Amino acid sequence: MDYALIGKIEKAKMYATEPERIQFDNFSVRLSGDNESVHDVGYKEGDWQCDCQFFKTRGFCSHTMAMERVLGEMITQA
């Protein structure tokens, strides 16, 4: 039995229960929208981006708001 691996798994479980340990700097995702559309959503240093038309005119959209709900307090708003 790999006891070192067991310790790492336990530590990972602990980290997962403490989301305040996690800070996102940047990432990108593809979000499947309605009508078979797929949108590129990004986050960089506190700012959201999306390739949809609504975001381009308003600076937010259902895609970025969905990601905010999924990630909750792990995302710092600019």
pLDDT digits (tens, 9 = 90+) for 47-62: 999 999 999 999 999 9
Q: How many CA atoms lie within 13 A of 44 on its CB side?
A: 5
User: Cβ neighbours of residue 73 under 8 Å, at least 6 residues apart?
Assistant: 19, 20
Q: Which distant-in-sequence residues (6+ apart) come within 8 Å of 64 by Cβ?
A: 41, 48, 49, 50, 55
Region of poorest pLDDT, from 32-41, 56-65, 67-76: 67-76
**Residue 23: per-residue pLDDT:** 83
Which residues 6+ apart lie within 8 Å of 15 measured at CB? 21, 22
CA distance 68 to 75: 7
Does the pTM exceed 0.75? yes
